[in-house]
Structure 1
């Protein structure tokens, strides 16, 4: 059995299966995972959230904001707060006047304005966070867990810096949209901290580089007394976490648009009846990109592997809504809607070390050869029998090379690969809303036998076939919402990280 010792991640034991796990990356993303830094203890605050129009409807809210802010920093060097988690709990009793009747689930975007103050000057740092689809029970409070990366801040003088939260807005969007465009907004809430809540989050001590604050009078702000400094001042500069050097715009999607042909053959097809109308979008689809994290279970090794490295993730390149298939509600066979999007993944070689027979260390590299990915989302039927679906389908081959056994090279040749491309079909059902919002997809992979392995008359095909090939290998992927570079202020830019499947406590 080619496995490594179990590693613990987010309170669960995950067994890493190396070469076999790499074989099961299933064209998603590759690389060993690493545990994320633990967030600081969340700040618990009480707030009230209501609509922007000042209507009477409002909901009592509790706010838990968790973020790592460095305890110290240096002048003219960026201070980067860590990933932020904002848990907003809205009382069920106050939601009736805020959301349309019949709302079953929502997706949420939170826009926080964090005040950064030092030496009498201050600036506002925009923190944009997102929450995945969250069900709304008939009696339970609505708990929205937002996450995201935030801008760094640079200071031109030494002194203690205070980070504090004030008023913020939360946009609630429908979680049942079937298109790849931005989902409709259900409500936009303004949340204000209750009296007695100061919103203080953290304090950072900025020094002149010697590790101590200089003596003397703190820098005098140029604003009028009692006024707040502006972000344009050199004393406090707030910049996007993914900003490029100089004045260039951030490159949120440093990947090429996908190429290839759509193949929706693995998506649910329409029930028999009238023909389905196929519409090809003239623009060729909307270019976007996204992050995804996942797990690949290895049936033969009774183990799993984390897919993608949360600290340096690869990006999926997407052309959303390239083609639409529709049939009217009153047509024979009933209504049918399917939206097809094209995606590509450019995977680098992956390297891994594993143990043969539980004790022999083996290192190998894997090259992935992936076909274009078709992501199809849609629905058919009428309520209450309406069925929503989502699939991601492509083919993949893999090649093994640079194999070493206990440090000694094992020549497997230049063409040690799966004997044929194999199908990867991932299903999200109704949990994967659309390409724009993402969600969890899962499937089962059947890896074919290996061929071309070995040189000098040595046949190593049975070794790799026995240890890797076969059916029953589960793959789980959680795709985060997509970033649309052409419209970054209305999409999820820079691309956020999703939760690793199975990491929930």
Structure 2
């Protein structure tokens, strides 16, 4: 996102509600490397946030784990990142509706990444703070956290990260009783106060003694200072949400239809009833890669194989929110629901049926509407993806010999798939990993010319305890300023990179 791009008024409630699911844990995780700021402490900065009637002063602390050093051509992943914004209670009260007892907030920080004479802008977007009580006096401290882009450089020399423009969105977490429309987000555009040291940290990149980074062959030349190179090669500096270079396509034009079914997500504990808000949603697309294990066959098949040309799923991000503030009876409850249309390519796998007979089959997935729910109950984080699905088998070969199973060899009834990710799944925009187990129903319609093969497939495949693990990449939202387009192709679950 270009730091100067105006906030689009029509997207405000959706963008804040979407980002709120990302920030459910306060504080930094332990890790190697040094935190941002001199001496390993967070960088303490001052910002002026503009309003039509003037400006308000904000104190900002930025902390991000940075590695002690980096290598040429290998991605550097800052994080986890925490951006803590302090605003005077009176300023917050003047911006939000009367009697607001708690506030949700989202933050996007423009970070200049420089090495020698090369520069690029990394947008630390979708950082969000959970429901924060508004104190009777003093300062409201909004603790934002979330995933941020990687940085890759093409040569030796120190890589310096410098803070730039900060954008905030404030939203009351205590909607008025009977309020049907989603609360309006109050946007703030904040500029750093002049005369400060805005450096967030430096990562040395050792080399052969050369101080000039080497540009990637065929890439554009050096960028102009302050130019947002995004995912393009800017001389020797590349910024990406993730580093997978797999080919990607455009977002599907079909927008998921229907209504989210969050019945598999955690419900609010007893107390005040959460406020329910329908939202227009943000259409986009993402890649979801998975592995399904067939318990009886002691084998696995790859879903949407990243080594072939995977397909994207259609997403309508954040169509509904359910919010109850932490100060209400029963405590904090936040749930954000999204819809997806999961049209997966056919999979092909070979198993040893009954332990000795190699059977190869193609599998077609027939999947119903997908609901993605993320949020938290108190300090407990949850993420749930659920849908109904059927399997159809075709092109079956036994020890290389074709076995005609007909055109209707499938599970007799659809089965329910419920995948849980907890904190491993950031939100619908940044994705993550989820897993679960399914019960595969018996098969029907298998066989031709009077031959009934249903018992064969039921005996060898059907049953409980079949595990599924999925990894969703970033979601491309074409009409959003920081749209994460094109979407990244994530790692196959179970690999080292996917577990990091």
- Pairwise same-fold verdict (TM > 0.5): yes
Asked if the contact 1:64–1:87 (Cα under 8 Å) also holds between the matched residues in 2, the reply is no
SS in 1 for 2:335: strand
Deviation at 1:292, TM superposition (A): 3.3
**Partner of residue 448, structure 1:** 441
Question: Which of 284, 288, 308 is equivalent to 2:284?
Answer: 288
Q: What is the CA deviation profile of residues 103-133 of structure 1, one whole-angstrom value per residue up to 9, with x for unaligned ones?
A: xxx9998956466x9xxxx765566799999
Question: Which of 388, 398, 407 is equivalent to 2:400?
Answer: 407
SS in 1 for 2:77: strand
After superposition, the Cα gap between the structure-2 partners of 1:344 and 1:65, relative to the gap in structure 1 and judged at 3 Å, is: farther
**Is residue 253 from structure 1 mapped to residue 258 from structure 2 by the alignment?**
no
Question: Which of 459, 464, 467 is equivalent to 1:466?
Answer: 459
**Is residue 342 from structure 1 mapped to residue 339 from structure 2 by the alignment?**
yes
Question: Which of 192, 199, 219 is equivalent to 1:190?
Answer: 199
Question: Which of 68, 75, 86 is equivalent to 2:77?
Answer: 86
Q: What is the CA deviation profile of residues 180-207 of structure 1, one whole-angstrom value per residue up to 9, with x for unaligned ones?
A: x99x99x997345489978969976999
Q: Report the Cα distance in structure 2 between the residues aligned to 1:240 and 1:87, rounded to whole angstroms.
A: 11
**Partner of residue 377, structure 1:** 374
**Partner of residue 432, structure 1:** 425
SS in 1 for 2:264: coil
Question: Which of 352, 365, 368 is equivalent to 2:365?
Answer: 368
SS in 1 for 2:459: helix
Q: Report the Cα distance in structure 1 between the residues aligned to 2:250 and 2:477, rounded to whole angstroms.
A: 8
Question: Which of 482, 493, 498 is equivalent to 2:485?
Answer: 493
Question: Which of 295, 301, 305 is equivalent to 1:299?
Answer: 295
Asked if the contact 1:444–1:474 (Cα under 8 Å) also holds between the matched residues in 2, the reply is yes
Question: What is the Cα-based RMSD across aligned positions, in Å?
Answer: 5.7
SS in 1 for 2:455: helix
TM-score, with normalisation over the residues of structure 2? 0.58
Matches within 5 A, 1:4-153: 48=38, 50-51=43-44, 53=46, 63=67, 69=73, 84-86=75-77, 113=113, 124=119, 148=150
After superposition, the Cα gap between the structure-2 partners of 1:110 and 1:396, relative to the gap in structure 1 and judged at 3 Å, is: farther
- Structure 1 unaligned spans of 5+: 1-42, 70-81, 101-105, 134-143, 154-160, 209-220, 222-226, 243-249
Asked if the contact 1:50–1:98 (Cα under 8 Å) also holds between the matched residues in 2, the reply is no
Q: What is the CA deviation profile of residues 407-435 of structure 1, one whole-angstrom value per residue up to 9, with x for unaligned ones?
A: 32211000000000110111233443432
Ranked by relative contact order (alpha carbons within 8 Å, sequence separation 6 or more), the top structure is: 1
After superposition, the Cα gap between the structure-2 partners of 1:495 and 1:110, relative to the gap in structure 1 and judged at 3 Å, is: farther
**Partner of residue 391, structure 1:** 384
Q: Report the Cα distance in structure 1 between the residues aligned to 2:478 and 2:365, rounded to whole angstroms.
A: 27
**Partner of residue 313, structure 2:** 316
Q: Report the Cα distance in structure 2 between the residues aligned to 1:206 and 1:277, rounded to whole angstroms.
A: 51
**Partner of residue 18, structure 2:** none
Q: Report the Cα distance in structure 2 between the residues aligned to 1:260 and 1:56, rounded to whole angstroms.
A: 41
SS in 1 for 2:422: coil
Q: Report the Cα distance in structure 2 between the residues aligned to 1:337 and 1:346, rounded to whole angstroms.
A: 29
Q: Report the Cα distance in structure 1 between the residues aligned to 2:445 and 2:291, rounded to whole angstroms.
A: 28
441-450 vs 415-424, greater mean Cα deviation: 441-450
After superposition, the Cα gap between the structure-2 partners of 1:428 and 1:108, relative to the gap in structure 1 and judged at 3 Å, is: farther
- Structure 2 unaligned spans of 5+: 1-32, 48-58, 87-105, 129-145, 174-181, 193-197, 242-247
Deviation at 1:354, TM superposition (A): 3.2
SS in 1 for 2:67: strand
**Is residue 419 from structure 1 mapped to residue 439 from structure 2 by the alignment?**
no
Asked if the contact 2:361–2:395 (Cα under 8 Å) also holds between the matched residues in 1, the reply is yes
Q: What is the CA deviation profile of residues 357-399 of structure 1, one whole-angstrom value per residue up to 9, with x for unaligned ones?
A: 445433221111110111122344xx5xx54433211100111
Q: Report the Cα distance in structure 2 between the residues aligned to 1:362 and 1:478, rounded to whole angstroms.
A: 27
Asked if the contact 1:298–1:473 (Cα under 8 Å) also holds between the matched residues in 2, the reply is yes
**Partner of residue 40, structure 1:** none
**Partner of residue 263, structure 2:** 265
**Partner of residue 137, structure 2:** none
Q: Report the Cα distance in structure 1 between the residues aligned to 2:249 and 2:291, rounded to whole angstroms.
A: 28
Matches within 5 A, 1:201-220: none
After superposition, the Cα gap between the structure-2 partners of 1:392 and 1:194, relative to the gap in structure 1 and judged at 3 Å, is: closer
**Partner of residue 352, structure 1:** 349
